Amino acid sequence: MKPLVIVGDSLLDVDIEGSATRLSPEAPVPVVDAERLVQRPGGAGLAALLAARTETGVTLITGLADDEAGRGLHSLLSTAGVRVLALPMTGSTVIKTRIRARGQSVLRLDRGDATPVDLPLSEEATTALGDARAICVADYGAGVTALPRIREALTRLAPRVPLVWDPHPRGSAPVPGCALVTPNDEEAQRFCGSAWSGDAGQTLLDTWHARMVCITRGSRGARVYGAHREVTNIGVPNGLGTAAADACGAGDRFAVAAAVALGAGADGVAAVRAAVADAARFVATGGAGAVSSPVPGEAAQGLSAPTQLEDRSRVDAIALAERLRRDGRTVVATGGCFDLLHTGHIRLLRQARELGDALIVLVNSDDSVRALKGPGRPVMHDADRARVLGALACVDAVAIFDSPTPENLLDVLRPDVWVKGGDYVASELPESELVRRHGGEVVILPTVAGYSSSRLIAAASAGGSLSERY
């Protein structure tokens, strides 16, 4: 049988699972008592693993770094029956670690900076693509789908091989002629940008020159847009629409199922209908957690894997910015006290990270916070605030500054985008002129109403339940 070929960015997913029954005495954050450590391929690797559970002849074309995690990732995939054709990478394997308590994610820690090298495709990879019964592209924004030779091959094959493209906001645009492109609802609106007029599917169909666009909508099913402007709504089958605690991997399961159906001769709507059912069944039966493997050896016994994660509060922010600029990438920076971290901060940081290729957070020192907020602040020392920020997946580096405003640090950092949250006017910010003098842009993002560190600290000081008071 011809192979099902998966193309895209792979990473290693690690879950630390446990329970949380108390708050830390240092700060109002949960303490997770770790009980189990599991791992699995992530990204395109997870798509290939899921495909291999039901299909024979699964080939994965992906970048793999030459390090311990990369070799472990290769082993997990090969053991599952996936034929891995590795593209060369620089840097270290991307590892995403979720800390989970009673099935709910509490925190995610990311490390690794693997980047694919632009070299000619091997004869094996070229042959596998040419012989494929269907191709599923799992783009996770790490660079594989941006490689010119990958794009040339996929563009050449799209007219004759069913090509399903699962896009990523930081990834590359799908090549023209895809049989099906599968963004979710939120992604579709973001891909449209200023062109969005309330009908994202039709806009993206024209933008990407795809044969069909399917916007996935979680428990609400999917909406399919065809080349002749027809729109088809597909619901989740009865009995499979119950929300589950962990939907991780549902998008990969959906894209793989659609590719399999198209490769077997189904039309686009029938392929999406099968994919909706498969993805719902996958979530209902445990999602990605059901295909995870225990981490072997001392790492599992001592739960030592997290201690090896890079502390991004120690990353040299200026060196990172210089390296990214040399590569022609966009550096985003934001700043503040971040004492204590709350939902409004997280949303701001996530939105800021989406504006470029890396986010550097500038944090007021303890003395700087006291000058701004009074003698009772900060609640957390600057080093602790930096470590908490550095543990967030959307933050690439953290730097601490002593002055009331971060102008001295910005003068050296020279970000492409400087982000502030709230009701500021860009022209009134003292650092705006400096940022623009270096060719940067100032972006003001709205804050989330009802959230502030001062209210959180007051609620914690008053005692009782934080959920009732804040």
DSSP state, 423? S
Whether residue 340 is preceded by a cis peptide bond, meaning omega within 30 degrees of 0, is yes
Cβ distance 204 to 177 under 8 Å?
Answer: no
Residue 283, CA distances (Å) to 239, 278, 279, 335 in order: 12, 9, 6, 38
CA distance 8 to 50: 14
CA distance 100 to 208: 37
Cβ distance 163 to 138 under 8 Å?
Answer: no
- Beta-bridge mates of residue 165: 137, 181
Q: Which stretch of DSSP H or E encloses residue 169?
A: none
Note if 113 is an active site residue. Answer: no
| CB proximity list for 280: less than 8 A, separation 6 or greater | 219, 236, 237, 240, 241
Single-letter amino acid, residue 267 = D
Computed on alpha carbons and rounded to an integer, the radius of gyration of the chain in Å comes to: 23
Looking only at the bridges linking them, the beta strands covering 95-101 and 222-226 are unpaired
User: What residue ranges in 337-416 does DSSP mark as E strands?
Assistant: 358-364, 397-401
Q: Is 398 helix (H, G, I), strand (E, B) or coil?
A: strand
CA distance 164 to 288: 21
Single-letter amino acid, residue 186 = E
Cβ distance 291 to 51 under 8 Å?
Answer: no
DSSP state, 330? P
Cβ distance 171 to 146 under 8 Å?
Answer: yes
Nearest to 269 by CA among 179, 168, 184: 179
CA distance 383 to 117: 36
Residue 347, CA distances (Å) to 244, 350, 468 in order: 23, 5, 21
Of the listed 252, 339, 366, 396, which one is catalytic? Answer: 252
Nearest to 277 by CA among 227, 216, 330, 327: 216
| Residues belonging to the active site | 252
